[in-house]
Amino acid sequence: MPLSSCPALTLPRPSSCIFPRSIPINKPKPYSVFFKLFISNVGFGSIRHFQTAACRALCDSSDGEIEGNAGLEIAKGDAFSILNFMEQRGVRPNFHTYASVLDTFFSLRSLKGVQRVHGVIMKLGFDTESVLSDRLFNLYYVLGDFVSASKVLVDLSHRSVALWNRMIADHLRKNEKTQVISFFMNLLREFQSVNPVIFSGALRACTGNSACWPLVQQIHGKIIRTGLTADPIVCNPLIDLYSKNKSIDSAILVFDEMCSKDNVSWVAMMSGLSQNGLGKEACNLYFHMHQSGIIPTPYVLSSILSACTKTELFDEGMQIHAQSLKLGFCAETFVGNALISLYSRCRSLEFAEKVFYEMSSHDGVTYNSMISGYGMFGNSERAICAFKEMQSSGFKPDSVTIASLLCACASIGAIQKGKQLHSYVLKAGLSSDYIIEGSLLDLYVKCADIDTSRQLFDSTNKENVVLWNVMLVAYGQMGDLSESFNLFSEMLVAGMEANQYTYPSILRTCTYYGELDLGEQIHSMTIKTGFQMNIFVCSVLIDMYSKCGVLERARQILNRQTEKDVVSWTAMIAGYAQHEHYVEALKTFEEMRCHGIKPDNIGLSSAISACAGLKAVSQGLQVHGQACVLGYSTDLSIGNALVNLYARCGMIMEAYSAFEANEVRDDVSWNALISGFGQSGHYEEALVVYKQMSQKDIKANLFTYGSAVSSSANIADIKLGNQIHSKMIKTGYDMEIEAANSLVSLYAKCGSIGDAKLVFNKMPERNEISWNAIITAYSQHGRGKEALQLFEHMKEEGLKPNHVTFIAVLTACSHVGLVTEGLNHFHSISKEHGLVPKPEHFVCVVDILGRAGQLDRARRFIDEMPINPDSMIWRSLLGACTIHKNIEVGEFAGHRLLELEPHDSATYVLLSNLYAVTRKWECRDRMRQVMKDRGVKKEPGLSWIEVKNVIHSFFVGDRLHSLADAIYEHLEELNKRAVDIGYKQDKYCLLQEIEQEQKDPTAWIHSEKLAVSFGHMKLPPEVPIRVIKNIRVCTDCHNWMKIISRVVGRVIILRDSYRFHHFEAEDCSCGDYW
């Protein structure tokens, strides 16, 4: 009998004897009474039809009927009373009955009631009914009993698609992605068709698991076959998955095939482009969306603004801000937060504040964004004010808030405010938060409080690898390499696994101190732990090997990198430029651009520096143009590189203009000008700039002093060199190894070999460059045997000689005629030291043999060389032939030299000298005529001498000096005194400055003689006469100076283009072997 045909119930009026007084008379009656009244009116036979309705009526009980736990127990009791009543009447409830009862307990949120009914269902065998199983799973899931829900799933023999949906959602919630994938595979076997929700869940389970990539492609294929390629539910996670796995082209393909795109689709695609470094394309997609008439939601706007912030597309971000204003979304919290982050990152704090105050409401993220922005600017005062406002607005600061505040204090070294925040952290019980721990440690590290840093580090549980990394950086900054390595070892012993930031921390310290051996050990560890291909580790390894001069190894790492970023490319370019591999630097720069990587300011400045090294002005200006296009027109590092480019190319006015164009100038700007002029040979200009820098009270650094000392050395300005040395002593730079090395070279080039040795002996530490400088000094001053003794001391101290060392050693052997020793040292280059001889070493050997008069042997050595002889080798042989008057070998060498350098005046002069000393006057005149016909002009002989801080220059037969008459008169007197004690003019010595017809009567007017005469007139008797000559001194002048040193009783020091000559008491340091 259907329920609709049942007779209407006539219920008696409620009375106090039936209902408790506590129940108002206008409330519905307890359903147990209602059910009994129904039975009495309808009869037993109608129970089968009414059982479900009764249970559902019980389920619909109002809140007014049940008060508190007592009422809840009454309702539960009523449900079971109905079931007991049915059993007493012999009526067995069916699964619909239990479904209704379950709904009753669910409405009462009674987990125990559901579990009790579940037990009854299992006893009666109804647990196989899909209706009850689905309902039990859903009830357990909603009531939070996930263990019971999982048991229900396991016991099911057949699961509906809806249940599979719930199962997948359940395991995704618990991040059990492997189980979700297993469910999905089972689902494909059980059902022919799968709904979009299940596809979406399976795709989300594949996120972050590269091993699932084949399954992703399989799912994508299934989506295509089932015609779901236009469904956003399926396509949105697919776009996200492809984007996160760097398959951005596939993501774009999925996006383009979607007929109907929702806001999530656009956000997923824009985020994907941004994540793959295509921020510009993400912005273009947004603008396309906007032009298509699709109105972006606040969520879309916040997403694209975040993308602009991440990729530093600030101009585009401002355009989107303008559109947000038109749409009226700027007051939205999500949009406002994104705008604050954008303007904070682009250092437009005023705009960030304006957005903040115009927002309709703020949340914790808003305040964190503002505090973070203040932290970027180092404005700890305003950051703390924002923090207080955040607290007064009822928002509780989190770890991000405190970390941003600590960052603001650390950036400006405000350690006292940082300590106040530290106290707040302790009071608030936040000291164990790993983000705050790291920020506190970073604060003390940046404020150079290493003791507090260590105490704080030791007080932590040390389970956070970030803390170890920060301490590694701290010891690196303090210059304690041993402590850095000890801490790194301690970290490994403690069972901590080094990550992609740990290795760069310790490797940077190795790079800074040039500890290549230790760096190679760390490199080996990265290979064992699988970090050798990590982008951060690779970039630091490239930087380490590049700066340590192991360029081939650095290039190998770059070539093996699967993912190269701008940092890796830039490290390689800078390494090439630093070690003067300028061509390779520019090739690598172009290669980077071909790979679509935009150079940063460091890469651009390194490329300009490489152009400066090649003196390629036009190419350097092209790179500068690229820098301007990329927005670096006012970048100081690029401006300094441009100054150096002009200066090294000798373009003095342009260099000054570029220097003045820099809105801000630092010590690097001045150094670029000084070093650039020095490297281009404009030593006087370099020293003028140095003096201007000193006058402006700009603090000089190690590089400044090194460049100034180098320029002083090249013009032998010992007085200015002494002044610079004094300043270095006052500032403590004189003990720096690089500075001391430059001082050794200064005194050596100024002829003060004793001062050079004094500086060398005082050095607290010496490297290969130090030894090379002192060995070269003794070699150039004709003290070859002492130079060789120093070479042996160098090896005893465990330092490995390099190519420069052997040039100095071989030159020492050449200057003192040690042929056998020289050849032995040459052969040891490869046999004992594993080096490959360079062309300069072969030149030295030819010079050794040539000076010793073994010209035929020298020629045979050249023929047997493994390299093609260059102009230096033939020039050395030709010079030796001139000394020993060997016309045959000399002509052979001269002709080879003319083939290589037909326009070099030195070759013609050397051949002319050869013909002159062998009295072949016709050949000499013919050679000079060839020289004239070819338009080759010889370099004029010049000599310089400094008197009272003024440098005086002389040329052959010079009459332009203001004291010319007095100089010539004094020179005539000196010449007479020299003749009186045995000086005889060498009539057949070719004077390079004048023609043959002028030679004999005026041989004594060579430029160096004029300089010596002037020096003897003007310098105090106790001061040595120091003269510099740009070409080699002739034999006649050499002999004349020996005798004059005895005549005037003083030391004469001559530095020509080959070596130093110390004349004293009719003797020369070269031993007449020059």
- Per-residue pLDDT of 24-38, as tens digits, reads 444 444 444 444 444
CA atoms of 653 and 802, how far apart (whole Å): 39
Which class does domain 162-260 fall in?
A: mainly alpha
- pLDDT over 90 for what percent of the chain? 30
What DSSP letter does each residue of 522-550 carry, written as one string? HHHHHHHTT-TT-HHHHHHHHHHHHHTT-
3-state class (DSSP) for residue 946: strand
Residue 46 has pLDDT above 70, yes or no: no
Same fold, 162-260 and 838-938: yes
- The per-residue pLDDT for 1005 is 83
Q: What is the pLDDT of residues 1009-1032, one digit of tens each?
A: 999 999 999 999 889 999 999 888
Domains of the chain, by residue range, sit at 162-260, 262-361, 362-446, 581-679, 700-765, 767-832, 838-938, 942-1063
Region 793-799 average pLDDT: 93
- Greater confidence, 241 or 668? 668
CA atoms of 517 and 574, how far apart (whole Å): 21
3-state class (DSSP) for residue 246: coil
What DSSP letter does each residue of 550-581 carry, written as one string? -HHHHHHHHHH-SS--HHHHHHHHHHHHHTT-
pTM over 0.85, yes/no: no
**838-938: which CATH topology?**
1.25.40
- pLDDT over 70 for what percent of the chain? 78
Residue 408 has pLDDT above 90, yes or no: no
Strands 1052-1055, 942-947: parallel, antiparallel or unpaired by DSSP? unpaired
Q: What is the pLDDT of residues 671-681, one digit of tens each?
A: 988 988 998 88
Q: In 3D, which of 437, 396, 444 has the Cα closest to residue 418?
A: 444
- Let me know: does 833 contact 851? Beta carbons within 8 Å: no
- Greater confidence, 473 or 642? 642
- The number of C-alpha atoms within 13 Å of 432 and in the hemisphere containing its C-beta is 2
- The per-residue pLDDT for 205 is 61
CATH 1.25.40 fits domain 262-361: yes
User: Which of 452-466, 507-521, 838-852: highest mean pLDDT?
Assistant: 838-852
Strands 1052-1055, 1025-1029: parallel, antiparallel or unpaired by DSSP? parallel
- Greater confidence, 457 or 536? 536
Residue 707 has pLDDT above 50, yes or no: yes
Region 362-372 average pLDDT: 82
Helix axis angle, 839-851 to 871-884, nearest 10°: 10
Residue 836 has pLDDT above 70, yes or no: yes
1034 sits in the region (left: phi over 0; alpha: psi -120 to 50; else beta) called: beta
- The per-residue pLDDT for 670 is 92
- The per-residue pLDDT for 247 is 75
- Kindly indicate the confidence band of residue 157, based on its pLDDT and cuts at 50, 70 and 90: low
β-pair partners for 951: 946
Residue 497 DSSP label? P
On average, the pLDDT of the chain sits at 79
Range with the lowest mean pLDDT among 147-151, 274-278, 532-536, 604-608? 147-151
- Greater confidence, 925 or 608? 608
- Let me know: does 918 contact 887? Beta carbons within 8 Å: yes
- The per-residue pLDDT for 1009 is 94
- Let me know: does 332 contact 338? Beta carbons within 8 Å: no
Residue 15 has pLDDT above 50, yes or no: no
Q: In 3D, which of 361, 357, 337, 340 has the Cα closest to residue 349?
A: 340
Q: What is the pLDDT of residues 75-130, one digit of tens each?
A: 445 556 666 656 565 656 665 676 777 766 666 666 777 777 777 777 666 655 65
Residue with tokens 């300005």: 717
Range with the lowest mean pLDDT among 178-187, 766-775, 996-1005? 996-1005
- Kindly indicate the confidence band of residue 570, based on its pLDDT and cuts at 50, 70 and 90: very high
- The per-residue pLDDT for 92 is 63
- Let me know: does 164 contact 187? Beta carbons within 8 Å: yes
CA atoms of 143 and 460, how far apart (whole Å): 40
- The per-residue pLDDT for 24 is 42
- Kindly indicate the confidence band of residue 787, based on its pLDDT and cuts at 50, 70 and 90: very high
- Kindly indicate the confidence band of residue 167, based on its pLDDT and cuts at 50, 70 and 90: low
Kind and range of the H or E run holding 256: helix 248-257
Strands 950-955, 942-947: parallel, antiparallel or unpaired by DSSP? antiparallel
Q: What is the pLDDT of residues 184-205, one digit of tens each?
A: 665 555 555 556 666 666 666 6
Q: Token pair of 122, please?
A: 């299992």
Region 593-603 average pLDDT: 91
β-pair partners for 1061: 1054
Q: Under 8 Å CB-to-CB from 467, ≥6 apart: which residues?
A: 434, 437, 438, 441, 457, 460
- Let me know: does 484 contact 474? Beta carbons within 8 Å: no
